[in-house]
């Protein structure tokens, strides 16, 4: 077996190669995978990742192998997956062996044992972590903020959670932000994905022995705690917690949990600048049996043209979407819709919520920008104040950076938002504030 390495010397120091990821569905179904002895957990995960559009597109391009400095010194998970995806998608109707990934199983995690059934979700998390380590510039600490910003894996799978604790006496809020690569949801008291998400983001009271120490009140108080999504990922992976403990013993929650072809995450998002968060299902991983270390794993994937296939080790067959939605899913894979991924849309949505007048000013050329500064002032809600003319601009209202969040909103002008570049309506930075201005010329 090739030597294992955990350093992160594989990728270019630039994030450039990741700027042109392909987000359309994989155009064709590929090969089935040989079961090499209790490897169905690995096969099911590999198939779901193979049909994850941006990851598959990047791996098929062969960009990683060109810059990889690790393969010659040992095992590189990204190179191994790249070769696997190339073979799988190039073998229509065939069967291939994932031998390289199986024999290097312990390079993914030392806790795994050859020929032993493992938990598919655990394997997926370790594999994605290994891929993350393989696409970082040399010298980058794997769990640092810099690594998350520059990592292909976090660009594809990465999101951010916000944990907020609010004092019920003084209303002071404390926010903590943590990155995530997938969500694990409790289903004991939920029979649908939407109900599981509602419970995940439900407000929890911290009281009794669990009271919160408020830094403002300087004492333990009753507080309210809530998890929300602060940043939605491009690929949203959701695991249903079907097993107690490690899954090696105890029962399994084997009930059907309803999920849909589409998913709107907006109700669970707390950051107004995150934009729309609408997703489409492209893969479902299923476990049949009563323990993670027994039973059987298989999956369903969607290719271009909304065609679904069941992939059960070496067997590959087309299935209806209805049969996919009827499954007792263990892991769901959703891809964010293209309209939800653009930052411009998120910025425009935030502008419209902050400034009602922008509904006209930032429209697609529908209507002229008004020079009636008093009307603009009233529409912007700056009641009782007089707009002033300054440096060729009508300044209708000043907003602090805190009111707009912490993003660097330098200028959002007509060249970005409108087809008519004659008149400029935008936010401009002025010291610690932003002014909403309209060109007076």
As annotated, the active-site residues are 40, 296
Q: Which residues contact 396 (CB under 8 A, 6 or more apart)?
A: 357, 373, 376, 377, 380, 382, 387, 436, 437, 438
SS3 per residue for 72-104:
HHCECHHHHHHHHHHHHHCCCCCEECCHHHHHC
Tokens at residue 389, please? 């003319």
Tokens at residue 138, please? 């040399």
φ and ψ at residue 399, rounded to 5 degrees: -120, 140
Query: DSSP characters for 4-62?
Result: B------S-SSSGGGTT---SPPSS---EE---SS-HHHHHHHHHHHT-HHHHHHHHHT
In angstroms, the CA 316 to CA 93 distance is 8
State the Cα torsion 65-68-71-76 to the nearest 10°.
-90
């Amino acid at each position: 077996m090739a030597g294992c390495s955990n350093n992160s010397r594989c990728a270019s120091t630039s994030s450039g190669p990741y700027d042109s990821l392909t987000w359309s569905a994989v155009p064709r179904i590929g090969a089935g995978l040989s079961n090499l002895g209790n490897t169905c957990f690995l096969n099911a995960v590999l198939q779901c990742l193979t049909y994850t559009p941006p990851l598959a597109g990047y791996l098929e391009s062969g960009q990683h192998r060109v810059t990889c400095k690790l393969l010659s010194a040992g095992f590189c998970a990204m190179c191994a997956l790249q070769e696997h995806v190339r073979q799988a998608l190039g073998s229509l109707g065939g069967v291939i062996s994932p031998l390289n990934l199986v024999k290097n199983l312990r390079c993914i995690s030392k806790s795994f044992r050859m020929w032993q059934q493992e938990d598919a979700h655990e394997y997926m998390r370790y594999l994605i972590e290994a891929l993350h380590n393989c696409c970082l510039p040399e010298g980058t600490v794997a769990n640092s903020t810099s690594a998350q910003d520059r990592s292909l894996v976090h660009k594809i799978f990465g999101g951010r959670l916000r944990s907020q604790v609010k004092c019920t006496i003084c209303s002071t809020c404390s926010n903590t932000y943590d990155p995530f690569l997938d969500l694990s949801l409790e289903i004991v008291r939920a029979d649908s994905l939407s109900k599981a998400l509602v419970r995940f983001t439900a407000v929890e009271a911290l009281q009794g022995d669990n009271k919160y120490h408020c830094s403002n009140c300087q004492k333990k108080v009753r507080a309210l705690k809530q998890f929300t999504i602060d940043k939605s990922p491009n690929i949203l992976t959701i695991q249903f917690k079907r097993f107690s403990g490690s899954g090696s013993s105890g029962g399994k929650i084997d009930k059907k949990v309803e999920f849909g072809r589409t998913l709107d995450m907006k109700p669970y998002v707390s950051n107004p600048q995150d934009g729309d968060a609408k997703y489409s299902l492209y893969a479902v991983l299923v476990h049949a049996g009563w323990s993670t270390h027994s039973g059987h794993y298989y999956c369903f994937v969607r290719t271009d043209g909304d065609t679904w296939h069941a992939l059960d080790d070496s067997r590959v067959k087309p299935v209806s979407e209805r049969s996919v939605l009827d499954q007792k899913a263990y892991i769901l894979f959703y891809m964010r819709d293209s309209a939800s991924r653009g930052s411009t849309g998120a910025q425009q949505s935030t502008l419209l919520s902050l400034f009602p007048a922008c509904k006209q000013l930032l429209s697609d050329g529908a209507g002229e920008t008004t020079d009636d500064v008093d009307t603009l002032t009233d529409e912007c809600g700056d009641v009782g104040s007089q707009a002033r003319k300054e440096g060729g601009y009508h300044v209708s209202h000043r907003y602090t950076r805190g009111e707009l969040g912490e993003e660097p909103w330098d200028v959002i002008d007509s060249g970005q938002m409108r087809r008519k570049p004659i008149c400029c309506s935008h936010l401009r930075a002025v010291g610690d504030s932003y002014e909403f201005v309209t060109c007076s010329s």
